[in-house]
Structure 1
Amino acid sequence: MYKAYKYRIYPTDEQEVLLSKSFGCARWFWNYALNLCQETYKNTGKGLSRAYIQGLLPALKKEYEWLKEPYSQCLQVVALNLSTAYKNFFDKRAMLPKFKAKHGRQSISYPQNVKFDGDYINLPKIGLVFCRRHRDFEGDIKTVTVSRNPDGKHFVSVLIDDGKEQPELVPADKAIGIDVGLKVRFVG
């Protein structure tokens, strides 16, 4: 079963700059891919697959050198998130994906290669970042999302697979109702 834990992290000034660059690159790639999806749909009536969007990255990295600065898998997760956002839209579970702004909450996701080392979390291309772990967890790390709130505070959300089975929901045969209405009001 999956569980998520959220911790506050305290990056150094250099790490804050690296995180800001990573947030910016992920945001730019999201907006670029979203614009491309919208233009393709207008012109052809068809959408773009996640594999196609991820396939754009090598050429874009040659054209825009600064896209090489963040961890490469963070940008690949952007393509996954965009395709999931479109799938949720077409399944009528969410609104149409929107462009991301520089102001507000920023985030990047690491699908692997993140480790905890005592009071620190080791993020690829960022290094060891102090993490206030107020509770421990058991299980395998699946995804780590680093976010920055508008007030400048940084957090890390860790998705864990604890290996336990998800409990089965047993459907009830009969409906149960409870009448909590009172006929007499007691004043004491």
Structure 2
Amino acid sequence: MLIQKAFKFRLFPTDEQAVLINKSIGCSRFVYNHFLDCWEKTYQQTGKGLTYNSCSKALTQLKVALPWLKEPDKFALQNSLKNLSHAYDRFFKKQARHPRFKSKRNPNQAYKTCFTNKNIEVADQSIKLPKLGWVRYARSRQVEGRLLSAFIRVVPSGKYFISLVAETEVKELPKTGKVVGIDLGLLDFMTLSTGEKITHPKFGCSMEQKLRREQRKLSHRYEGAKKRMLKQKNLTLMDCANYQKQKIKVAKLKEKISNRKTDFLHQWSTKLVKNHDQLVIEDLNVNGLLKNHRLAKAISEVSWAEFVRQLTYKAKWFGKEVIKIDRFFPSSQMCSVCGHRDGKKALYIREWTCPQCGAHHDRDVNAAINILNEGLKNPIGI
């Protein structure tokens, strides 16, 4: 099976290369915002928007008027226009909201370049990129397949990353003949129908006190920087070294939490897909659950949506199946032995006994078994 797979590495550009990367990102953002403004003005005047081809021709003229747009990679600017066109297509199909202007304060800044005529090459210690030349990188694995494109990204901590997108072949994993029901929760990250419970490390909660302390320091230094700016009118936040140092410190701490959480999700999603042929889960409405302000923080911490996303695409890659059941199925109210429905139970009730057959249940294990049985009988698909 041919798939498009991304290989992510950390880049270590020189000072000149870092400047050019930042210029490419800034120019891509400028082009996106410029033609978004043109698109809106044209629509107000004529009742019709622009097309990608008309914007592409206008971009050529814009480069003549603004010579600094010729400095970055040309593919970065073209892909910025494609992103705008795609955003409008999704908006008109009612799949997304109206495109908005991009801000330089957005924590994720990136641009995309395309592979053509061997302008992107991968060596043992460096990667060749358009306009940048050979850039040193941290090689953690072999890039497999035919290269298609590359995303160069700058994160708030000041680190540079590249995601190489390649078309590669994935072989199906051998069948195990096993099926499993998965009940996602807050006390335990998930409970399997086999009775196994996986506890969530709760990286955000464990480092919350340290993060609060560092964010408080950042707030104090921001107020101090504002007072200095009032005294020296030509001073900016970029000139306030203590504020910038603390800002990077907070960003690194958040990045560490995010990396540990992502690693945990990848480990368990891969393990479940390798060891089971069918995985049955609930079709959770995470956005709706987040409206409960008492549980919103805990739900965000466990990252259910990201875990289900990883399970879904990995199962598709390796020839396994993810089955979803109706989100309103009363998995925690039914007895998995006799099927008796005992009604809703408060969250503090973790164990209960069926009044009809006398079977004693662990709330989460019973729910996982019910999810498995329902998924095998009445799947609703992905």
Are 1:106 and 2:109 an aligned pair? yes
Q: Give the alignment partner of residue 145 of structure 1, picking from 127, 151, 155.
A: 151
Structure 2 unaligned segments of length 5 or more: list them. Answer: 172-315, 336-353, 363-382
Distance (Å, rounded) in 1 between the aligned partners of 2:46 and 2:28: 26
Distance (Å, rounded) in 2 between the aligned partners of 1:186 and 1:84: 50
Number of the residue aligned with 1:74:
76
Task: Write the letter of the residue equivalent to 2:36.
Answer: L
Root-mean-square deviation (Å):
2.6
Q: Give the alignment partner of residue 162 of structure 1, picking from 164, 168, 175.
A: 168
Task: Write the letter of the residue equivalent to 2:99.
Answer: P
Q: TM-score, normalised by structure 1?
A: 0.87
Shift of 1:151: 2.0
Q: TM-score, normalised by structure 2?
A: 0.44
Number of the residue aligned with 1:17:
19
Number of the residue aligned with 2:66:
64
Return the structure number with greater helix share.
Answer: 2
Number of the residue aligned with 1:185:
360
Number of the residue aligned with 1:118:
124
Number of the residue aligned with 1:37:
39
Quickly say closer, same or farther: Cα 1:169–1:49, change in 2 above 3 A: farther
Q: How many residues align?
A: 183
Number of the residue aligned with 1:87:
89
Distance (Å, rounded) in 1 between the aligned partners of 2:320 and 2:43: 40
Distance (Å, rounded) in 2 between the aligned partners of 1:47 and 1:169: 43
Which consecutive segments of 4 or more residues in structure 1 shift more than 3 A? 163-170, 177-182
1:103·1:150 contact (CA, 8 Å) conserved in 2?
Answer: no
Number of the residue aligned with 1:134:
140
Shift of 1:9: 1.0
SS at match of 2:147: strand
Task: Write the letter of the residue equivalent to 1:53.
Answer: C
Number of the residue aligned with 1:47:
49
Deviations 1:99-152 (A, max 9, x none): 111122211111112111212111111111111121223111111010111221
Larger relative contact order, structure 1 or 2 (CA cutoff 8 Å, min sep 6): 1
Task: Write the letter of the residue equivalent to 1:110.
Answer: T
Task: Write the letter of the residue equivalent to 1:18.
Answer: L
Distance (Å, rounded) in 1 between the aligned partners of 2:34 and 2:361: 66
Structure 1 unaligned segments of length 5 or more: list them. Answer: none
